[in-house]
Structure 1
Amino acid sequence: MVRMSKEMTHYTEDIQKKVDECYNIAAKARELGFDPEEFIESPQAKDLAGRVEKLVGPRGVAEIIRDLKSKGKNDDQIAFQVVSDILDRKIGNIEDLNERVDRAIRVGLAIQTMGVVSAPLEGISKITIRNDYQGKKYLSLYFAGPIRAAGGTTQGLCVLIADFVRKKSGIPKYEATDGEAGRYVEEIKLYDRRVHLQYPSSHDEIRFAVGHLPIEINGDATEDEEVSRFRDLPRVETNNIRGGACLVLNDGILLKAPKLLKRANNMELEGWDWLEDLEKIAHGDSSKEEREETDGDEIKEDILSPNSKYIADIIAGRPVFSYPSRIGGHRIRYGRSRNTGLAAGGLHPATMVLLDK
């Protein structure tokens, strides 16, 4: 652990002192009863572990997270270990299976989002163990609009965590019907027209993913518009568009399939190999081409072909910095650097010169 200088220690202590003063004033104001709640809804937390415990609990989870952090575990390892401990009743000792499953998934999502967004609370409206038409149980996650704040990768990871919870709890897989798959196709396309989703998915991709998902991606009605074809399905409570479900399936599972496959393999999660086939469908089975090189013997080598999906729906008149896989084209590097930090973007100075900015 890095030690702070005396000046920096005094500086942080002074900030904490003033924050405490503000909280005390706010607490007294809340006690007067003029607000919806008589307590401060945003408790203080000093680190990831504290934020997770204050956000979704259960009591004692913060110490476990800190201990795993000190052992050098990454966020994925911490999330799955904590989820496993909750299911084994080592943390929280929750007796009811439904409540235990609910808490485990929310805690896992809170760790992945670093406890700084409301997605674990408001992004998942409810988690239930339902029965299908044959009486078999399956796990259903009801997503709401605020799940957008989690980001596509974390939305997909939430489903991976839910599948891990499902397996460990002995809950059978979700099996979608043809009608439910068709409902997702219609629903996502309708939602895309209203809100504009990031990923222009195809009907085949949606049907393939829904047919292989072990968890039901469900959701509350978020739009006034209703579907016209696949209505009044037995396991879908509403005919209205479910925005949260569309976001998670389209911009979480479909868009982030390669990244989710990598994370699933790293965590040794079984049953997600179909994500690799999904990627092939996304590329129209032409993601790889054979190139022949002849130097006496014929050698076949796989090369990646350009994927133009990301510019398929570009607005006319907008500048295009680079076409897919074009040599010398514009590139985006994801991650955090010292000059941009969290939730910020930066441009290379050379790019600014080229753009005359």
Structure 2
Amino acid sequence: MDIEDYFSFLDEKLEKALDVAKKARSMGYDPHERVEIDIAKDLADRVESLIKIDGIADAIRSLEKDMTREEVAFKIAKELANRIEPLEKGINFAIRTAVAILTEGVVAAPIDGIADIKIDSNDDGSRYIRLYYAGPIRSAGGSAQALSVVIADYIQREMGLNRYIPREEEIKRCLEEVVLYKRVAHLQRMPPPEDIRRIVLNCPVRIDGEPTEKVEVSSNRNLERVETNRLRGGMILVISEGIYLKAPKIKKYVEKMGLKGWDWIDDLINNKNTSSDNKDDPEDHAKEDAFLSEIIAGRPVFSYSNEKGSFRLRYGRSRNSGFAT
């Protein structure tokens, strides 16, 4: 059996299994009389099934021939924002669809990771996009988290909206939350306070979130434009693991799309590089052990920082099992 026959065999068995499931559901013993799992053969099908916009799969396939996945996400988002009314609904579908494309339609981030998307007002009356992130946005990965903010700004400009103008109390609130979150949950890397301030002050889109932790802030409480005193985990993840860690990728795409107002990303990148340059030579300084500080007892360690020789790790989706490892 060659590879084509093998996949044809799988498709045939899948169709038979679906027929059995449909007949069983038609008897009315289950909560729903249809099989909820939609069959998707490629990225375009997965995105259409996830977002529930008819015809979007064909548009994605057409654009994929000449564009990268990121470029397709920007293009599709722009088309949806201009096509769907009212404005807030169009922006909602546009950003979720873009995130679904970036994450290949295989994680919950586009639906569960973005709790809500609203159009809110600054103190001067101008309007901006406000993104409410939730805990499952972690599954999108840092790149998709960061690019979701860039795409939101791209749509914001296309729709003639202004940028977010934060109050000083809101900047301090975000800073307090990130520092406090590190004590109760895991962050890949803790941004320095000056970089957290730089991100919140300059980001043209408001990064907000639902309360995800029971812990409450102690200082910057009961703010007029912040709806909770609890920690907003999704917001913290996007700031710390998205914008901060993926600043070089953001720079690449804001330059490619010609977006203005992102010059501060250079300062973010330069500050990170300066911090790295200030470290002593790896052979002279004590070995970095931060990656061991939270390891669970009994788990294997495949390599140590600045040590020669270790296991070679191959990341990707295995052909024999289909699992991502």
Band of TM-score, shorter chain: 0.7 to 0.9
SS, match of residue 131 in structure 2: strand
Q: Structure 2: how far apart are the matches of 1:205 and 1:232?
A: 24
Q: Which runs of 5+ in 1 are unaligned?
A: 1-5, 290-303, 345-357
**Overall identity of the aligned pairs, in %:** 39
Q: Which residue of 2 aligns with 1:322?
A: 305
Superposed displacement of residue 270, structure 1: 2.7
Aligned to 1:88, which of 76, 82, 85? 82
Moved beyond 4 Å, runs of 4+? 28-38, 285-289, 304-314, 316-320, 328-342
Q: What are the residue-to-residue correspondences of 1:57-68 with 2, within 5 Å?
A: 57-68=52-63
Which residue of 1 is the match for residue 298 of structure 2?
none
For the aligned residues, what is the CA RMSD? Answer: 3.2
Instruction: Kindly indicate whether residue 49 of structure 2 is the aligned counterpart of residue 54 of structure 1.
Output: yes
Corresponding letter in the other structure for 1:13: S
Aligned residue pairs, count:
317
Q: Which amino acid aligns with 2:78?
A: S
Are 1:145 and 2:123 matched, yes or no? no
TM-score normalized by structure 1? 0.78
1:188 alignment partner in structure 2: 178
The aligned amino acid for 2:43 is: L
- 1:320–1:141 Cα change, 3 Å: same
User: Structure 2 length normalisation: TM-score?
Assistant: 0.85
Cross-structure match for 1:154: 144
Q: Tell me the residue number matched to 1:75.
A: 69
Tell whether the 8 Å contact from 2:303 to 2:310 is kept in structure 1 after alignment: no
Q: What displacement does 1:178 show? A: 1.2
Give the residue type in structure 1 aligned to 2:162.
Answer: P
- Indicate the residue corresponding to 1:24 in structure 2: 19
8 Å Cα contact 1:288-1:305 kept in structure 2: no
Distance in 2, Cα, partners of 1:309 & 1:246: 29
SS at match of 2:144: helix
C-alpha spacing 1:145/1:338, structure 2 compared with 1 (3 Å): closer
Deviation at 1:67, TM superposition (A): 1.1
- Cα gap change, 1:217/1:32 in structure 2, threshold over 3 Å: closer, same or farther? farther
Shift of 1:235: 1.1
1:254 Cα shift?
0.9
Q: Summarize the Cα distance change of 1:330–1:185 in structure 2 as closer, same or farther, 3 Å threshold.
A: farther
Map 1:98-117; keep pairs closer than 5 Å.
98-117=88-107
Deviation at 1:81, TM superposition (A): 1.3
Instruction: Tell me the SS of whatever aligns to 1:88.
Output: helix
Instruction: Indicate which of 125, 130, 154 corresponds to 1:135.
Output: 125
Q: 1:86 to 1:308 in 2, by over 3 A?
A: farther
Q: Which has the higher helix share?
A: 2
Residue 208 of structure 2 is matched in structure 1 by 218
Q: Give the superposition deviation at 1:319.
A: 8.9
Instruction: Tell me what 1:15 maps to.
Output: 10
The secondary structure found in structure 1 opposite 2:190 is: coil
Task: Return the alpha-carbon distance in structure 2 between the equivalents of residues 308 and 211 of structure 1.
Answer: 36
Larger Rg: 1
CA contact (8 A) 1:153 1:256 kept: yes
Is the contact made by 1:144 and 1:245 (CA closer than 8 Å) also made in structure 2?
A: yes
Instruction: Describe the superposition over 1:290-337 as per-residue Cα deviations: whole angstroms up to 9, x where unpaired.
Output: xxxxxxxxxxxxxx98899985574299897234xx8x6879999759
Please state how far the C-alpha of 1:227 moved relative to its aligned partner: 0.6
Deviation digits for residues 24-83 of structure 1 (CA, Å, limit 9, x no counterpart): 333444456665555443311110011111111421111111111223x11111111111
